[in-house]
Structure 1
C-alpha cells in the first residue's frame, strides 16, 4: 500500500503501518494536552494505543496463518487508524474454510483476554469508575482486557468486511450457496453501515468513518462475487481482445507515441515474431519523454518480466489476478505464441454483456 512504513515481517508476512496512523497518535497527544496531562500520562496513552494495535496485528495474523493452512498466502498486514487489514491472496470458496479463517482473528483476542484475566487479580471485583478516569500503570492491563473483549464483540457484527460478515456468509453458504449468501450478508452489512453513519452524526463522528468503510467494503465484496459467478465456466479465450496493436522491440519511443496518439491503446505488448518480450505502459512512455529518451528503442524502457495467460486458462482466475495486481494488461498465449491481450476493462465488458443476456 502506498505511503506505508514497512515494520518488517512476521512469519514471512510483511507488516505495514499507513501514514494516517500518525494522525491517530497526534490526536491522542493533543487530547492529553487538552486535559492537562503530564508527559508520563501522555506517553502511557500512546503506549496503550500501540499495545492495542499489537493485539490487532496478532488478530490479523490469526486470519493469515489459518488461511495458510488452506493454501492461501497473505501478502501483507496493514495497520490503519480504524484497525488492521490482512491482504489475503483470496477468500476460499469452501464455506468451512472461510468460517475457520474468519473466526481465527477474534479467537486470538479471546485468548489474549483470557490470559489477562488470569494475570489480573481482581476481575471478579472490578474497581470503581474513578479508577479508569485516566490511564495509569495500575489500570493499563484492565483497559487492555476490556479492549480485547470489545474487539471480539465489534468483529462479531455481521457486516462485511468485518469477521462477523464473513462468518454469516460462510454459514449461509452451506445452504444457499456462495452467491446468494454474499448478497444477504452484504445487504445486511450496508444496512448496518447506514445505521453507523446515522448514529455517528449524533454521538461519535468516528462511527461515520466506520460506516463508510463497512458500506463500500460490503458493496465491493458483493460485486466481486457476482462477477466471478458470471465468469464461472468461461475461458480466457472468450474474454480476450484479438484486435490490438503491438510494438517491436526495435521501435523507438517516438514510434510508440505515434501509435498511442493514433489509436485507443494506452498500453502495449512488445513482441517479436509472435514471441512476447515485454510490455510497455503509457506512464513508462511519458517518463521516457521526460528523460529525453524519445529516440531510444522501446526495449530499453519496457518491462521485461511479463506474466502471461494461456487461452485455456479460466477467465475467473484471470479476473482475480488482474484485481490483485492492478496490472494494465496481460498477454494471452496459444501454443507459446501471442494470441491476444486481456485487461480488467475488457473482462468488465464481458461481464456486462453476460449480465444483460441473463436478464
Structure 2
C-alpha cells in the first residue's frame, strides 16, 4: 500500500491504485489467451473491469458509512482483488470500524443481487456458462455474476484482509488490544493462505495459489502497519524525557482530526499537516510524521 500513486480525488479524498493493481488482470488475460484464445482473454479483461466498478461502489458505500459516523477518510486504495478504505482514526476500541466494514460486506451482497436481477430480467441462464468461443453480453453478465459470488465468498472469510476480516479484527479489538487482535487475524489469515497455496499446487490450479500468495502478503502488511503504530506509542510514552509535540496544539489539531468519541485512545490523522496525533483517554499526547505511510 505504501507510495501507491493517486489516480483520482473524490471530495478531496485520494483514490490510489496500488502498483499491483493491474498485474492480476493482465496476468489472467495472458493465461486465458494462451489456454483458451483471444475471446477468453477479452472476456477476462471485461470481467475485471466489472469487478473494479464493483470495488468502486463498495468504497463509496464504506465512505458514506464513515462520513455518517463522522470519521474522516484518509484514502482509498484499489488492490488487485479488493479495495482498502483507510480511515483517519486508529482506535484501540474501534466501534466505528464495525459500521464501515459492515457497509463493505453489504455492498458485495447488493452487487450480487443486482446482477442476479439483471440475469432474471434479461432471461440469461444463471447456471455457469463455460463456452468461451464468442464474447457477448449474455456470457459477460453470467461470468460477472459468478465471479461476483466468488468475490463475496472471499470477502466473507473473516481472516483475510477484506471487509469481513477487518470486521472480525475490530470485533476482537473491542475486548483485546488492537495489536493482539491484528496478530490473531493475521496468523489465521497466514494459515489459511498457506492452505490455499498448498491445495492449489496439489490440484495444479494456479489461480488458487495466486489467491493464497496475495492474501498472505496483505495479511503480513496489515500486521506490520499495526506493529509500527504500537512502536510509536512505546517510543513516545509517558516515560519519554523529551517532548513529543513541539508545535502549539491549535496548529497541530483541527476539527477534522479531533475525535468525537469520549475518552478516545489511539491515533487520528491530520491531512493538512500530514501528522498522526496520538490520544490517550481523550487527550493529545504526541504528534508524529510517518514518511511513506
CA distance in 1, matches of 2:191, 2:233: 24
The 5 Å alignment of 1:300-319 reads: 314-315=284-285, 318=287
Q: How far did 1:103 drift? A: 1.6
Name 2:257's counterpart in structure 1: none
Q: How far did 1:160 drift? A: 5.1
CA distance in 2, matches of 1:169, 1:309: 22
For residue 213 of structure 2, the aligned residue among 193, 209, 216 is 209
Report Cα offsets for 1:199-236 as digits up to 9, x if no partner. Answer: 3443333034224324413532552575477579x459
CA distance in 2, matches of 1:221, 1:307: 16
Name 1:104's counterpart in structure 2: 103
CA distance in 1, matches of 2:150, 2:163: 13
Kindly tell me: are residues 326 and 28 of structure 1, through their superposed partners in 2, closer, same or farther at Cα, counting changes over 3 Å? closer
Report Cα offsets for 1:146-200 as digits up to 9, x if no partner. Answer: 2222222212212253222222223334444645544433332333233334334
CA contact (8 A) 2:101 2:163 kept: yes
Name 2:289's counterpart in structure 1: 322
Larger radius of gyration: 1
CA distance in 2, matches of 1:148, 1:308: 36
Q: How far did 1:76 drift? A: 2.6
Give the 3-state SS of the residue equivalent to 1:138 in structure 2.
helix
Name 2:17's counterpart in structure 1: 17
CA contact (8 A) 1:70 1:97 kept: yes
Name 1:171's counterpart in structure 2: 171
Kindly tell me: are residues 322 and 160 of structure 1, through their superposed partners in 2, closer, same or farther at Cα, counting changes over 3 Å? farther
Give the 3-state SS of the residue equivalent to 1:60 in structure 2.
helix
Unaligned runs of 5+ in 1: 242-268, 270-304, 328-359
What RMSD over aligned residues (CA atoms) do the two structures have, in Å? 4.0
Q: How far did 1:95 drift? A: 4.1
CA distance in 1, matches of 2:129, 2:276: 62
CA contact (8 A) 1:95 1:170 kept: yes
Q: Is 2:62 the counterpart of 1:58?
A: no
CA contact (8 A) 2:173 2:181 kept: yes
CA distance in 1, matches of 2:124, 2:73: 40
Q: Is 2:31 the counterpart of 1:27?
A: no
Name 1:355's counterpart in structure 2: none
Instruction: Return the TM-score normalized by structure 1.
Output: 0.58
Aligned residues: 258
The 5 Å alignment of 1:241-256 reads: none
Report Cα offsets for 1:233-256 as digits up to 9, x if no partner. Answer: x45964548xxxxxxxxxxxxxxx
Give the 3-state SS of the residue equivalent to 2:120 in structure 1.
coil
Name 1:331's counterpart in structure 2: none
Q: How far did 1:3 drift? A: 6.2
Kindly tell me: are residues 176 and 33 of structure 1, through their superposed partners in 2, closer, same or farther at Cα, counting changes over 3 Å? closer
CA distance in 1, matches of 2:23, 2:4: 13
Q: How far did 1:110 drift? A: 0.8
CA distance in 2, matches of 1:166, 1:2: 22
Kindly tell me: are residues 193 and 240 of structure 1, through their superposed partners in 2, closer, same or farther at Cα, counting changes over 3 Å? farther
CA contact (8 A) 2:105 2:164 kept: no
Unaligned runs of 5+ in 2: 247-272
The 5 Å alignment of 1:157-306 reads: 157-159=157-159, 161-176=161-176, 178=178, 180-202=180-202, 203-204=205-206, 205-220=209-224, 223-224=227-228, 226-227=230-231, 230=234, 234-235=237-238, 238=241, 240=243
Kindly tell me: are residues 137 and 175 of structure 1, through their superposed partners in 2, closer, same or farther at Cα, counting changes over 3 Å? same
Instruction: Return the TM-score normalized by structure 2.
Output: 0.68
Name 2:149's counterpart in structure 1: 149
Kindly tell me: are residues 47 and 69 of structure 1, through their superposed partners in 2, closer, same or farther at Cα, counting changes over 3 Å? same
Kindly tell me: are residues 50 and 129 of structure 1, through their superposed partners in 2, closer, same or farther at Cα, counting changes over 3 Å? closer
Kindly tell me: are residues 238 and 148 of structure 1, through their superposed partners in 2, closer, same or farther at Cα, counting changes over 3 Å? farther
